[in-house]
Amino acid sequence: EVQLVQSGGEVREPGESLKISCTASGYSFSNYWIAWLRQMPEKGLEWLGIIYPTDSDTRYSPSFQGQVTISADKSISTAYLQWSSLKASDTAIYYCARRSDGRSLDYWGQGTLVTVSS
Amino acid sequence: DIQMTQSPSTLSASIGDRVTITCRASQSISRWLAWYQQKPGKAPKLLIYTASSLESGVPSRFSGSGSGTAFTLTISSLQPDDFATYYCQHYNNYSPTYTFGQGTKLEI
């Protein structure tokens, strides 16, 4: 069974750094792109970027380039999303999702709530 | 950049109704479109890919159609479990990028 399990919710103050994770199981992690998406409170879905674990080829949405960093460790089947300096506007639920062979996103993590507040 | 626009933003319907949600692309995207269902507090769930292909395990009352710039998601007979928010999504076949519509909330 394919599963993506994300790390737990986080509370940080503005200016702090953060790294959240997405651990895959039930398939060959290296062979599928992993995407990260954001959902701000009561808002729609936004695509942040995507990584191919085999070679760490990473693409970012122009809206998020330079704002976040996506990485992966194929030895432990885990993808990461990180911030170097959080802002209150980063408060949101963040999802990871697997890009299917058909190019859509077929499996999703349960989401990680990131709260940034002083 | 390609923009995806859904309509309506909110749709009120009753059990047993046939409902249609529309998604329009700002330029032709062939059939590179997916539909997702999201319930409160849950991750989105893939329903339809490549405009009209039903994801495994999704009830057959869901169907998708369209190509180019105009697409629809139809639910043939609404069930209580279908009340949720629906998103269309364009995915680029040649580079792994994604664009979502703003969502349609289906209410009782």
Q: Mind listing the pLDDT tens digit of every residue in chain A (118 residues)?
A: 999 999 999 999 999 999 999 999 999 999 999 999 999 999 999 999 999 999 999 999 999 999 999 999 999 999 999 999 999 999 999 999 999 887 899 999 999 999 999 9
Contact A104 B101 (CB under 8 A): no
Question: Does the pLDDT at position B96 exceed 80?
Answer: no
Give the per-residue pLDDT at B89: 96
* Strand extents, DSSP E, chain B: 4-7, 10-12, 19-25, 33-38, 45-49, 53-54, 62-67, 70-75, 85-91, 98-100, 104-107
Chain A: residues touching B (Cβ < 8 Å)? 33, 35, 44-47, 50, 52, 59, 61-62, 95, 97, 99-100, 102-106, 108-111
Which residues in chain A touch residue B92, judged by CB atoms under 8 angstroms apart? 103
Stated length of chain B: 108
Which residues in chain B touch residue A97, judged by CB atoms under 8 angstroms apart? 43-44
Give me the half-sphere count of Cα atoms (radius 13 Å) on the Cβ side of residue B39.
8
Give the per-residue pLDDT at B73: 98
Strands B45-49 and B53-54: antiparallel
Give the per-residue pLDDT at A41: 95
Give me the half-sphere count of Cα atoms (radius 13 Å) on the Cβ side of residue A96.
29
Contact B98 A35 (CB under 8 A): yes
Triad A86, A71, B32: Cα angle to 5°? 100
**From B103, which residue of chain A is nearest by alpha-carbon distance?**
A44
Give the per-residue pLDDT at B94: 76
